[in-house]
Amino acid sequence: MDRSKTIKHTRFYGFGTKWREKSVPVFRIPLLEFQQQDMSGMKTYFMRIALRAGNLTQRLRNLDSFFPPFPYSERNVLSTASGNSVQFAPAKKTVGIREIEAPNSLVLQFGLDHPLALDAGVSLSPLTIAYQTYGELNAAKSNAVLVCHALTGDQHVANTHPITGKPGWWNTMVGPGRPIDTNRYFVIASNVVGGCMGTTGPASLNPATGRPYGLDLPVVTIKDMVRAQAMLIDYLGIDTLFCVAGGSMGGMQVLQWVASFPERVFAAMPIATAARHSAQNIAFHEVGRQAVMADPDWRGGRYLKEGVVPTKGLAVARMAAHITYLSENVLQSKFGRKLQNRAAPTFSFDADFQIENYLRHQATSFVDRFDANSYLYVTRACDYFDLAADYGGTLAYAFKGAKSRFCVVSFNSDWLYPTSASRAIVHALNAGGASVSFVDIETDRGHDAFLLDTPEFIATSRGFLAAAARARGLAPTKNEPK
């Protein structure tokens, strides 16, 4: 193990954490890619690295020193499997933690010689990116579609989720015969930087300490997320993406892709999104962050090191956020004032109403799969997003000369990212001379409509992508007219 260079870190915007100047021992890990589906514990992860680095016996003797107490070390050794891996059974309550360092997806590692430059003024290395792919890349590498996930999404777009066991979060849009047809396109989806499903985030191990980063991870931005995605796309050898698509925070990434890499995006689909976060949305996010940080188990962001998890605070944050994803009409028609399995109020603070029970269920399922500090980081990234700010305050300049063709989609009942926000994007695209189509879909499903089987949205997406594919010269599918 050699030692890293002394790196000077300065105070950065975010949660008020300050970096200190120091030299730290680190593994110098070469660029590699491997699939971790046979790996269920962090010790396996480090053993794989040690095998590449040499001195395996000595590394294994010292391995336990890299692991903090619960939740990382609360594992039972099942067996020493054949080959170079050891299998561990994570404790049931830490199933979400398992995905941070041993994700059930493809993983790309960038070593110290491939740092990610961050808007905070520092670099992040080593860097891990967890991702999934679907379909096949054609010989010309012209059929790649990058799907960007929303706030609490991940790379599991169209496969069974490894934690929840549910179908992929966008299986209505991605798959054989879907608008993003995996028989035609090569689909890529990565977990964002700052996330908690395998890409480097606050719950990942800090090589400087051997402990989870916590708030020592620099605050990341939407632009940082896109830079990391570009590193992945470069590694895959793809010069130009056929399409970049995503909704909500994913839509912000789409816009940033076109602004940062206009020559690399043939078509773009920003859905239910905005070019900057509004004061109202920043306020909602701040309520959520304060709920997390007010939980006594948050411990200043050091809860993993201290063996606790701020589930109550994160649950409240999720409940508040989930309300913004729905419309008033949906809440009224689905729940109204219906009582939950009772004929009359209990005159207590139990969940008397069905809507209360629903929100509690959403909160419970969420804390099982998401990291509290990651919630702080991804909400902060959205809050900092203001695309026009990098272009003198004029959004049109961000798209000036853009060659991409756009399909901007909004939903009339979405009050989180209302139609007016999409119209502002369209006006800027028109001013910048871009080719753009726009549809505002009438539905009562609110912001979540882009995640659901919304017929007009599915038809719009299918038509736009089919036309773009013809313009790109991609071979049609069997059922598509030539």
Q: Which residues are catalytic?
A: 248, 414, 447
Residues in the chain: 482
State which amino acid sits at residue 89: A
Alpha carbon distance 396, 177 (integer Å): 35
Do 186 and 157 touch, CB atoms closer than 8 A? no
| DSSP conformational letter for 71 | T
Q: In 386-442, at which residue ranges do the beta strands (DSSP E only) sit?
A: 405-411, 435-441
**What b/e sequence results for 355-376 when a residue is b if at least 16 CB atoms lie within 10 Å of its CB, and e otherwise?**
bbbbbeebbeebbebbbbbbbb
Helix axes 222-235, 249-260, angle to 10 degrees: 70
Sequence-distant (≥ 6) Cβ neighbours of residue 62 within 8 angstroms: none
Alpha carbon distance 298, 450 (integer Å): 33
For residue 402, give the nearest of 373, 364, 430, 422 by alpha carbon.
430
* Residue whose token pair is 């050091």: 302
Residue spans of alpha helices (H) in 245-339: 249-260, 279-294, 303-306, 311-324, 328-334
* Residue whose token pair is 């030539």: 482
DSSP secondary structure of 368-388: TT--HHHHHHHHHHHHH-BGG
Alpha carbon distance 403, 263 (integer Å): 7
Alpha carbon distance 20, 199 (integer Å): 24
For residue 186, give the nearest of 241, 148, 137, 229 by alpha carbon.
137
| DSSP conformational letter for 3 | B
Q: Peptide bond preceding 202: is omega within 30 degrees of 0, i.e. cis?
A: no
Sequence-distant (≥ 6) Cβ neighbours of residue 253 within 8 angstroms: 148, 192, 222, 225, 226, 229, 244, 246
> Quick one: 107 exposed, middle or buried, by C-beta within 10 A (0-12, 13-18, 19+)?
buried
Distance set, CA 80 to CA 62, 124, 233 (Å): 17, 34, 36
What is the phi/psi pair of residue 410, to 5°? -135, 170
